[in-house]
Chains A and B, each alone.
Chain A
Amino acid sequence: MRRIANIGRLPAWAVLAVALLLTLFPFYWMVRTALTPAADLYTDSGALFPRHPTTVNFLRVLGLTTQEEARAAGGSGAQINFARYLLNSVVYSGLIATFQTFFCAMAGYAFARLRFPGREFVFGVVLAALMVPPIFTLLPNFVLVKNLDLVNTFAGMVAPTILMTPFAVFFLRQFFLSIPRDVEEAARLDGNGPWGVFWRVVLPMSRGPLITIGLTTTVWAWKDFLWPLLVGREEQTRVLSVALGVFLQQSPNTRPDWTGLMAGSTLSVLPVLLLLVLLGRRLVQSLNFSGIK
């Protein structure tokens, strides 16, 4: 297939190259700053490469240096432990993505294939919840979690999203509807109950959509900020996004600890970069308008 006339190609590629540069440069600058010693921040702030590259900023935000060393390297002396926050973020996203996907698959299958009275009505009610924006339920949910004494616990943090989101139920139901009925009927005749059909036939056939939902949920949870800020501010449950916000606040307004902040920022990018390298093809191809969230 001839895609484009040869003469027109060069400027078009040039535009794409500029877009790519603009997309990636801020990440480069983040890493560059993270590798710069705090002492060079003023003299080096326009240089494209760090003159005295160092890993001390990573070590100190990970809590691997002593307080004195951290302060000498530009830290404010406040306790920061990004190893802990990184772990908290992984636990938070991992728990939500795994269980939400599984429970939504169960519900989606029931709505798609099982026959029971009131099915369409119940599904309609769940679907209607797509219209309620998160901020509206966030206020009462906060009150609920607070009254249950679950603030600053992982239980309280994952509670609202670990069981379901209306979108995931809807998305998976749509997929299950597209599975040929014959396959399931055959499995039933082989002696499988509804659970057997779901577990042995439907789930293995649905790897693609399950990974899609699992991935988008992981990304969503990784980026989540407001709910963890309200419910998981304390050290033991603080996730990366909240930690970065707190870090900025604790850092003096006149002279923020940019080398440390950029080291922390880099740590929040690395895991998703890994995800992109490992599952990039799947992630990129799952983004079409049926996968819109």
Chain B
Amino acid sequence: MRTMRSAERSQVAEPSVAGAPRRRRTRPRDDRRAAWIFLVPALAGFVIFYGYPTVRGFWYSLTDYNLLTAPAYVGGDNYAQLVRDPQFWHSIAVTAYYVLINIGSQLLLALLLAALMHRLTRSVVLRAMLLLPWLVPNVTVALVWIWLLDAELGFVNHVLRALGLGTIGFFMSPDWAMPTIAMVNTWAYTGYTALLLYAGMLQIPPHLYESAAIDGAGELRMFRSITLPMLRPVLALVLVVSLIGSFQIFDTVAVADRGGGGAGSAVRVIYYFIYQQAFQYFHMGYASAAALMLAFVLGVLTVVQMRLLRASRSDLA
């Protein structure tokens, strides 16, 4: 059966060898028919749910559209309105504030954890436990922390009161709400980020540390002179990936704002702004314009990420 098919194949393939005889293995082959069959499901998904909506998104951003009547073309009105909308700029400021606290604390803590693990242990169990918060839905994370930080009954406030520090409103207070959400997400993603950095550290040749130790270098010195410089490409990549993720904060805010209540516009990040415009006020066109602005920022970050990915490969692979 197999040999028969083999014979058929070579006959079918023969005519494509135009002219000079060549070695069988390098004969140009055309898998056009097979390729399209392999690609049909993925390309269908791509065209319908990535390509088409991207074009539609551009179009919506130029229209007035409330989901009920057909979109009406309004030119650049949405964009003109957007740049004059204080709520839009406020949501950008709130997002930036969030990203700053979240990324700053998350990267520092992850770097510390990764460095400690790298020098102390290869335990898979430890790493698995650190990963647990990342595996859990953000909604669950938000709920558990809203409960832990509850002003009246929350465990954290029991501890604070026991220490004589008084009660903090956390999710309820406009001043505390955004830093609280940022730190909650730091809790959720630090283990994951630490594992990425740790994987990068494993690529550093161990003999560097051995010879540094022979030269009498201490751990801090080794971290500064070996780990940090060698890790730089990975660190840059993790930073950009975390930034892209951080800009898209939504779940925690959505849960905290509905449940905890009170903090309101202090936590209205850009994703939440877009969500409310689209699905609470049904300003689809306006929301699309805001989404496009965000897409632009994230697109630039992604290009940086791709560049770094290539750079880190050539450095450490």
Point out residues on A near B: beta carbons under 8 Å.
1-5, 8-9, 12-13, 15-16, 19-20, 22-24, 26-27, 29-30, 33, 41-42, 45-46, 103-104, 106-107, 109-110, 114-117, 119, 122, 125-126, 129-137, 139-144, 146, 159-164, 166, 169, 185, 188-191, 193-195, 198, 219, 222-223, 225-226, 229-230, 240-242, 244-245, 248-249, 253, 256, 258, 261-262, 265, 268-269, 272-273, 275-276, 280-281, 283-285, 287-289, 292
B32 touches A116 (CB 8 A): yes
The 10 sampled A-B contact pairs (Cβ below 8 Å) are: A23-B130, A24-B129, A103-B45, A119-B35, A133-B299, A135-B274, A139-B57, A140-B57, A144-B52, A273-B132
A16 touches B196 (CB 8 A): no
- Contact A261-B155, Cβ < 8 Å, known A5-B219, A143-B56: no
Of the listed stretches B74-82, B89-97, B100-108, B187-195, chain A binds: B187-195
B251 touches A226 (CB 8 A): yes
CA distance A292 to B192 in the complex (A): 10
CA distance A216 to B131 in the complex (A): 13
A190 touches B112 (CB 8 A): no
A107 touches B39 (CB 8 A): yes
A180 to chain B, nearest CB (A): 13
A225 touches B45 (CB 8 A): no
Q: Which residues of A are found within 8 Å of B251, using beta-carbon distances?
A: 225-226, 241
Residue among A41, A104, A115 with the highest chain B CB neighbour number at 10 A: A115
Nearest 9 interchain pairs by C-beta: A163-B45, A107-B42, A288-B199, A140-B53, A140-B56, A191-B6, A110-B38, A194-B34, A280-B128
B128 touches A2 (CB 8 A): no
A129 touches B32 (CB 8 A): no
Looking across the interface, which residue of chain A has its beta carbon closest to that of B290?
A135
CA distance A229 to B145 in the complex (A): 21
- Contacts A107-B41, A283-B128 supplied; 7 other A-B pairs, CB < 8 Å: A3-B120, A106-B41, A131-B303, A190-B6, A245-B254, A272-B132, A285-B124
Any chain A CB within 8 A of the CB of B126? yes
A129 touches B206 (CB 8 A): no
- Contact A139-B44, Cβ < 8 Å, known A23-B130, A268-B137, A288-B200: no
CA distance A181 to B253 in the complex (A): 49
B187 touches A256 (CB 8 A): no
A163 touches B41 (CB 8 A): yes
Q: Which of A135, A161, A194, A248 is in CB contact (< 8 Å) with B31?
A: A194
Q: Which residues of A are found within 8 Å of B158, using beta-carbon distances?
A: 45-46
A266 to chain B, nearest CB (A): 9
Q: Which residues of B are found within 8 Å of A185, using beta-carbon distances?
A: 25
B49 touches A160 (CB 8 A): yes
- Contact A27-B132, Cβ < 8 Å, known A223-B138, A292-B196: yes
Q: Which of B32, B34, B128, B134 is in CB contact (< 8 Å) with A193?
A: B34
- Contact A262-B147, Cβ < 8 Å, known A23-B191, A131-B298, A132-B299: yes
A289 touches B312 (CB 8 A): yes
A116 touches B261 (CB 8 A): no
A8 touches B219 (CB 8 A): yes
Q: Which of B25, B50, B279 is in CB contact (< 8 Å) with A166?
A: B50
Q: Which residues of B are found within 8 Å of A249, using beta-carbon distances?
A: 258-259
A46 to chain B, nearest CB (A): 4
B9 touches A191 (CB 8 A): yes
A20 touches B129 (CB 8 A): yes
B42 touches A159 (CB 8 A): no
A2 touches B138 (CB 8 A): no
Q: Which of B209, B219, B287, B312 is in CB contact (< 8 Å) with A139?
A: B287
CA distance A15 to B109 in the complex (A): 11
A3 touches B119 (CB 8 A): yes
- Contact A265-B116, Cβ < 8 Å, known A137-B57, A276-B128: no
Q: Which residues of B are found within 8 Å of A4, using beta-carbon distances?
A: 119-120, 219
CA distance A189 to B302 in the complex (A): 42
Residue among B5, B43, B213 with the highest chain A CB neighbour number at 10 A: B43
B184 to chain A, nearest CB (A): 9
A128 to chain B, nearest CB (A): 9
